[in-house]
Amino acid sequence: MTATASDDNNRLTDLKTRQMRVAPSLLAADFCRLREDVAIVERAGAEVLHLDVMDGHFVPNISFGPGVIAHLRPVSRMFFDTHLMIEEPARYAEAFANAGSDLITFHIEVTDNPNEVIDAIRKHGCGVGVSINPTTEIDTIEAILPKVDLVLVMSVWPGFGGQSFIGDVLTKVAQLRDRLNDNQRLEIDGGINAETIALAAKAGADTFVAGTSVFGDPDPAAAFNRLTQAAQQAV
Ligand code: DX5
Ligand code: ZN
């Protein structure tokens, strides 16, 4: 049986409240034991699982698709935060919604018609996020800000885990904080560790994607807790 986004009665969060949340990125997990790695961070208290989908076109890498997400859905109550680094996000919204995504983020760089993408995602019952690359200006998303649930600021060039944090994006984080309301999440993705998470939290981010710094640690649960603490203590 395939779980759907409507089976959401038991989710750990709906992301509507503002608090510091670390979202472990599946990309850095052990792909031979995804179920176990997901359970480790969930037991540690993670409410959000970040799912990086790459198509080999928008980014020079290929990761996984809706099939993997659908297999994880029945074994986790975490909020599935799907980050589409793909061209034609509207075309695939239904597949990622049916796989069990709670929210689907698309990149503004792939479309001239963001409203069409937003409608395609909403139609299938998911929350909507929009992402901007490190050098993409926030005026490209200004008009659609009232329509999204989350803004994702990339602090590395999308495509690979394990890259270094680009600090210049913190200016955009601070500007976005002022433009978003308390129901909207401000997420940062790439190069997040115990030091950079504090900078991002101070700038106004509330949701922090962490791949390498969680699953690359010998004790991912302890790493998750350290990062959460570092974010909480920074503000
Ligand atoms: C990069 C992805 C990230 C990635 C982050 O394209 O969007 O979510 O998993 O990995 P780390 O935390 O290792 O920088
Ligand atoms: Zn991501």
164 in any annotated domain: yes
9 in any annotated domain: no
103 in any annotated domain: yes
Compute, in angstroms, the gap from residue 197 CA to the centroid of ligand 1: 13
Q: Which token pair is 183?
A: 């129901």
Give me the active site residues, please. 52, 189
Q: Is residue 189 within 8 Å of 159, Cβ to Cβ?
A: no
128 in any annotated domain: yes
CATH number, domain at 39? Answer: 3.20.20.70
Give, for all 235 residues of the chain, the pLDDT tens digit: 444 544 556 899 999 999 999 999 999 999 999 999 999 999 999 999 999 999 999 999 999 999 999 999 999 999 999 999 999 999 999 999 999 999 999 999 999 999 999 999 999 999 999 999 999 999 999 999 999 999 999 999 999 999 999 999 999 999 999 999 999 999 999 999 999 999 999 999 999 999 999 999 999 999 999 999 999 999 9
- Domain holding 190, by residue range, is 19-234
1 in any annotated domain: no
8 in any annotated domain: no
The structural domain count of the chain equals 1
Q: Which residues line ligand 1 (CB under 6 A)?
A: 25, 27-28, 50, 52, 83, 156, 158-163, 189-192, 209-213
Which of 25, 53, 132 best tests ligand 1's pocket when mutated (most atoms within 8 Å of CB)? 25
191 in any annotated domain: yes
13 in any annotated domain: no
